[in-house]
């Protein structure tokens, strides 16, 4: 019985992460960019981002079809840093996880008129 409960709980966690609500935000010549969950506490917003590629691309030595990025924004200072990157074999963060990488410790300034500024404004308006 314990094994069945464990399996059901794990399946529900996997289903929840795979069925994340993604909202399409940008389309480039070789990719589509989506935003997911946004959380904001004390002027720091986190934004789950997903980039789907039309074809497999090399990212950090791996051939991937999508990458999820958990990005932090300091809404007051207008700076950002990446908490974590996760590369997937298939689009929409599906398939085998090919790598997970911790982001940078240092904050970088978000330049105006860039996609990152759009992301900052989207995350900070929550």
Query: Cα(99)–Cα(87) distance, rounded to whole angstroms?
Result: 5
Range of 31's domain? 22-124
pLDDT tens-digit profile of 71-126?
A: 999 999 999 999 999 999 999 999 999 999 999 899 999 999 999 999 999 999 97
Give the DSSP letter of residue 6: H
Please state the pTM of the whole predicted model. 0.81
Q: Tell me whether strands 31-41 and 79-88 are parallel, antiparallel or unpaired.
A: unpaired
The answer to whether residue 75 is domain-embedded is yes
Domain count, the chain: 1
What pLDDT score does 20 carry?
66
What is the pLDDT confidence band of residue 60, given thresholds at 50, 70 and 90? confident
CATH classification at residue 60: 2.40.128.710
């Amino acid at each position: 019985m314990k094994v069945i409960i464990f399996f059901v709980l794990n399946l529900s966690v996997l289903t929840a992460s795979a069925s994340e609500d993604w909202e399409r935000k940008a389309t480039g010549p070789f990719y589509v960019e989506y935003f997911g969950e946004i959380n904001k506490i004390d002027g720091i917003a986190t934004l789950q981002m997903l980039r789907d590629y039309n074809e497999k691309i090399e990212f950090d030595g791996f051939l991937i079809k999508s990458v999820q990025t958990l990005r932090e924004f300091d809404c007051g200072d207008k700076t950002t840093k990446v908490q974590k990157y996760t590369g997937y074999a298939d689009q929409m963060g599906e398939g085998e996880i090919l790598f997970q990488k911790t982001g940078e410790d240092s904050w970088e300034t978000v330049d105006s008129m860039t996609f990152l500024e759009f992301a900052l404004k989207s995350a900070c308006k929550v």
